[in-house]
Amino acid sequence: MATQRAAVALGRHQVVWHLAWALHNFHVHRGYLRDALDSWQTALDATPYLSDSAVTCVTHRCLGRVCSRLGRHEEAVMHLEWALGLAVHHRDRGEQAHTQQTLANAWGRQDPGNEASILDSLGYIAHHTGDHGLAIDLFGQALAGYRALGHNYFVAFTLDNLGHPHAALGHRDRARAIWAEALVFFREQGRDNDVARVQRQLDDLGGTA
């Protein structure tokens, strides 16, 4: 921390940021979250001098992660939404995926059901913006969360959602198996409109259930 303060005093803004990055895992893994917070806040002050959107995005994401672990939920979400907006604007899909996962985890610290819900919503966004591989990953994580919680009502919905990016990528057999499982849940739950809709999706694939 003393080295970072010295870099600030000397106007070595890139060094200030790289010190925060280099110390991040050490601070987090050792539980020195206050030090991590101070380090990244100092780095954030340096970002206007760096003119690098990727650096600003990473800074907000790391601040969001640390704030979440400290229980500062509103600050965490603010930083993570800022980071996500930058990643989307600059079409940085790698950083977008990292930030989406961190945002879901932040919500999950409030309520495990929220994490699955956020992951499902992010999967929907990814699918409808053409990133079907990311959508499959996000829907898969949401599905695992709902299964672990025993929330079968939402398991059915997420299975339905998961089938679409598989179908878009030409994974017909995988989409068929997923929708067939969704259909079982919808029938058990008496959700007739959903049964009819998923059956049509299966028919369009050329399969039967």
Instruction: Give the tokens for residue 204.
Output: 């369009």
Q: How confident is the model at residue 208 (pLDDT cuts 50, 70, 90)?
A: very low
Phi–psi pair at 207, nearest 5 degrees: -110, 175
Report the distance separating Cα 99 and Cα 194, nearest Å.
Answer: 32
Mean pLDDT within 124-148: 90
The answer to which of 39-48, 53-62, 86-95, 139-148 has the lowest mean pLDDT is 86-95
Q: Is the pLDDT of residue 140 over 60?
A: yes
Predicted local distance difference test score (pLDDT) of residue 209: 43
Q: DSSP alpha helices (H): ranges in 52-151?
A: 53-69, 73-89, 93-110, 112-128, 132-149
Q: How confident is the model at residue 27 (pLDDT cuts 50, 70, 90)?
A: very high
Mean pLDDT within 78-106: 82
Residue 98 DSSP symbol = H
Predicted local distance difference test score (pLDDT) of residue 108: 66
Mean pLDDT within 183-199: 92
111 to each of 61, 78, 108, how far by Cα in Å?
A: 20, 18, 5
Q: How far is CA 142 from the centre of its chain?
A: 10
Report the distance separating Cα 183 and Cα 175, nearest Å.
Answer: 12
Mean pLDDT, the chain, as a whole number? Answer: 89
Domains in the chain and their CATH numbers? 1-110 (1.25.40.10), 116-209 (1.25.40.10)
Q: Is the pLDDT of residue 78 over 80?
A: yes
Mean pLDDT within 186-194: 90
Report the distance separating Cα 186 and Cα 156, nearest Å.
Answer: 6
Report the distance separating Cα 62 and Cα 15, nearest Å.
Answer: 17
Q: Is the pLDDT of residue 55 over 50?
A: yes
Mean pLDDT within 135-158: 91
Helix 152-168, helix 172-188: angle, nearest 10: 160
Instruction: Give the tokens for residue 150.
Output: 């025993």
Predicted local distance difference test score (pLDDT) of residue 112: 64
Residue 65 corresponds to which amino acid?
A: R
pLDDT tens-digit series, residues 31-52: 899 999 999 999 999 999 998 8
Cβ neighbours around 142 below 10 Å, total: 27
Predicted local distance difference test score (pLDDT) of residue 200: 95
HEC assignment per residue over 4-66: HHHHHHCCCHHHHHHHHHHHHHHHHHHCCHHHHHHHHHHHHHHHHHCCCHHHHHHHHHHHHHH
